[in-house]
Amino acid sequence: MEKLVIEGGRRLEGTVTISGAKNACLPIIAATLLSDDKSVIRNVPNLRDMSTMVKILKNLGVTVQQDGDTLTIIPGGYKKHIAPYELVSTMRASICVLGPLLGKHGKAEVSFPGGCVIGPRPIDLHIKGLEAIGAKIKVERGYVIADGRKMKGGHVYLGGHFGSSVLATANTMMAAVLTGGVTVIENAACEPEVADLTMFLIKMGANIKGGGTHRLIIEGVKKLHGADHSVIPDRIEAGTYILAAAITKGDVTVKHAKLEHNLALMDKLTEAGLEIKKVPSGLRVRYVRKIKPLDLTTLPYPGFPTDMQAQFMSLMTVTDGISVITEKIYPNRFTHTSELARMGADIQIEGPTAIVKGVKSLSGAPVMASDLRASAALVLAGLVAKGRTDIRRIYHLDRGYECLDKKLNALGAKVWREKDK
């Protein structure tokens, strides 16, 4: 096992290139199961989660070839419909093979998913969406066992306690594209990643209207064909590097970053005093004045993303004044606060709200990552902290950030990996 070591106090400057979006790529890879034909997926990030999804497809009998950041996927009439525990349990997004297997074969057995520990993330909306179009679902032995042989178009509302669900929308949509009749999904997730999946399905021959909105209308077709598609850039990776520039008082061009995918984050950072400008290659981010403390609340897209909450908190720990951060998506998503406190941060938790009192500086310390975005928050804190920070359990980072240490070093950071005893 490895740990990440950061020698803090270095200003970041230069250009960083953003990889393909993990949260778009995973359901798109799963969607290739809906056809027997070859599909080509480009701009695929080199991440542990991609490797897991490829293993799941191969386990189902699908041929997958990789050449750099391009996957060639050839389902070729695969027959299996079971996604086993030993693979699915390592990654929550692997549940998104449920919809394609139901749509293609009319049956599926998928283990309950795993992933980061950031509080309860039930799959009730997945089940609700699939049952609304006629699937029969039961849970046995830790598996979701679904029968979709009598599926037909239906009307479903996918609102949950904390808003719409990206993966539940994806699963319902992928099951519906090969199901006879018309399916209407109300309160569908409208994140860019869902819109990207919709575009891929349309390229495959699906009949979908309303992509990127809260209302999807899907008219089932009899057959889909393969498609060639380039995945959108990762808005969360882009946001993380933007915050890295802010916390180190840097000047960084974030190549491929799309302003329209990160409007809520950009609005808050501009309000705080960061300079953000569109350039031909993406976005240029410059620290030009003292950052101000802010209040923010995470909300479903296009609101402030929960996946940026932890990283934003790191910036606020060294911002003079008091900031208030309220988590409305995953109210327990504050595991990073105790580790930031080890580095000298002053944070108080009151229910779903964190009250952050800025300190003059953080100090390097040994810390432990608890989930993907908490890991990124600790990296940002380490970049600005005095001295050495050792971050353990960085396998979380490798699930969502491609070549993080190399990209940061190219910007002037001092980051390296060591074996963890």
Would you place residue 164 in the very low, low, confident or very high pLDDT band (cuts 50, 70, 90)? confident
The pTM assigned to this predicted structure is: 0.95
Examine the fold and report which residue of 215, 230, 245 is the final residue of a domain before the chain moves on.
Answer: 230
* Domain shared by 177 and 129, yes or no: yes
Asked if the model's pLDDT at residue 111 lies above 70, the reply is yes
User: What average pLDDT is seen over the chain?
Assistant: 94
**Residue 116, pLDDT score:** 47
Q: Hunting for tokens 């995945």 — which residue is that?
A: 231
pLDDT tens, residue by residue, 274-303:
999 999 999 999 999 999 999 999 999 999
Asked if the model's pLDDT at residue 162 lies above 70, the reply is no
Rounded mean pLDDT of 329-344?
A: 94
* Domain shared by 158 and 62, yes or no: yes
| CB 333, CB 309: distance < 8 Å | yes
CATH number of the domain enclosing 115: 3.65.10.10
Cα–Cα distance for residue pair 196/245, rounded to 1 Å:
28
Examine the fold and report which residue of 230, 261, 293 is the final residue of a domain before the chain moves on.
Answer: 230
Rounded mean pLDDT of 232-247?
A: 98
Cα–Cα distance for residue pair 392/375, rounded to 1 Å:
9
Percentage of the chain beyond pLDDT 90 is: 87
| CB 199, CB 232: distance < 8 Å | no
For residue 46, what are the CA distances in angstroms to 139, 157, 171, 396, 408?
33, 35, 24, 14, 16
For β-strands 228-230 and 39-42, DSSP reports them as: parallel
Rounded mean pLDDT of 214-234?
A: 98
Domain extent, residue 58, equals 22-230
**Residue 332, pLDDT score:** 83
Domain count, the chain: 2
- Residues marked as catalytic: 116
* Domain shared by 261 and 318, yes or no: yes
**Which stretch of 52-66, 70-84, 102-116 has the lowest confidence by average pLDDT?**
102-116
* Domain shared by 226 and 319, yes or no: no
pLDDT tens, residue by residue, 33-74:
999 999 999 999 999 889 999 999 999 999 999 999 999 999
Examine the fold and report which residue of 176, 199, 230 is the final residue of a domain before the chain moves on.
Answer: 230
3-state secondary structure the chain: CEEEEEECCCCCEEEEECCECHHHHHHHHHHHHHCCCCEEEECCCCCHHHHHHHHHHHHCCCEEEEECCEEEEECCCCCCCEECHHHHCCCHHHHHHHHHHHHHHCEEEEECCCCCCCCCCCCHHHHHHHHHCCCEEEEECCEEEEECCCCCCCEEECCECCECCHHHHHHHHHHHCCCCCEEEEECCCCCHHHHHHHHHHHHCCCEEECCCCCEEEEECCCCCCCCEEECCECHHHHHHHHHHHHHCCCEEEEECCCHHHCHHHHHHHHHHCEEEEEECCEEEEEECCCCCCCEEEECCCCCECHHHHHHHHHHHHCCCCEEEEEECCCCCCCCHHHHHHHCCCEEEEECCEEEEECCCCCECCEEECCCHHHHHHHHHHHHHCECEEEEECCCCHHHCCCCHHHHHHHCCCCEEEEECC
pLDDT tens, residue by residue, 305-314:
999 999 999 9
Cα–Cα distance for residue pair 319/18, rounded to 1 Å:
26
* Domain shared by 271 and 210, yes or no: no
* Domain shared by 332 and 320, yes or no: yes
* Domain shared by 221 and 310, yes or no: no
* Domain shared by 93 and 170, yes or no: yes
pLDDT tens, residue by residue, 394-416:
998 988 999 999 999 999 999 99
Asked if the model's pLDDT at residue 161 lies above 80, the reply is no
Would you place residue 117 in the very low, low, confident or very high pLDDT band (cuts 50, 70, 90)? very low
* Domain shared by 196 and 280, yes or no: no
Instruction: Give the residue with greater pLDDT, 392 vs 91.
Output: 392
**Residue 119, pLDDT score:** 43
* Domain shared by 210 and 181, yes or no: yes
Asked if the model's pLDDT at residue 336 lies above 90, the reply is yes
* Domain shared by 372 and 313, yes or no: yes
* Domain shared by 270 and 295, yes or no: yes
Q: Which of 160, 87, 173, 93 is nearest to 130 (CA)?
A: 173
